[in-house]
Amino acid sequence: MIEQERLIEKAFLALEHAYAPYSGFQVGACIQTRDDHYILGANIENAAYGSTNCAERSAVFAAYSMGYRKEDLKALAVVTRAKQITTPCGACRQVLSELLNADTPIYLSNGIEVAVTNMKELLPAGFGADDLKSAN
Ligand code: THU
């Protein structure tokens, strides 16, 4: 099995753990680390809807909580069972643009098609740490 297929398959395992009683929209994510660990994340919703955590944020926060940093992260997969491929929401793009390298491959799949992108493409000209340094 080629590497990205394995990563996508693991993201579908995470999707099975989604807690999405409000939207019914299950999302799974998986990060492959350079030392070849796979870290899963699912979307976890809340009755106060804004407190929901998306799958890709769950995965990247888990990776950072384990001590990994952006240079240790090799690839991310985000999967759904939607009719079309889903791309990360705006909040996730902001978070991932800081916590992943700009060229780290991000595989998106709905189980039928696969697309590959990265944060350079998903959030060009985003706000980041360098902007804070230029204050006054
Ligand atoms: N969701 C994700 O987990 N990742 C995305 O990239 C898009 C949206 C979740 C949040 C919410 O639980 C559900 O999908 C519907 O928005």
**Ligand 1 centroid from CA 4, angstroms:** 21
pLDDT at 136 over 70: no
- Give the C-alpha separation, 45 to 51, whole Å: 7
Confidence at residue 55, expressed as pLDDT on a 0 to 100 scale: 98
> What's the token pair of residue 69?
């940093």
pLDDT at 135 over 80: no
Atom of ligand 1 nearest to the CA of 52: 12
3-state DSSP percent of the chain in helix, strand and coil, to 5: 35, 20, 45
Confidence at residue 33, expressed as pLDDT on a 0 to 100 scale: 98
Taking the whole predicted model, whether its pTM rises above 0.75 is answered as yes
Which residues are near ligand 1 (CB < 6 Å)? 20, 23, 25, 27, 43, 45, 52, 54-56, 78, 86, 88-89, 92
| Fold assignment, 3-134 | Cytidine Deaminase; domain 2 (3.40.140)
Pick the residue whose CA is nearest to atom 1 on ligand 1: 54
Q: Is the separation of the CB atoms in 72 and 49 below 8 Å? A: no
- E strand or H helix that includes residue 75: strand 73-79
Confidence at residue 130, expressed as pLDDT on a 0 to 100 scale: 92
The model's pLDDT over 44-84, given as tens digits with 9 standing for 90+, comes to 999 999 999 999 999 999 999 999 999 999 999 999 999 99
Pick the residue whose CA is nearest to atom 6 on ligand 1: 88
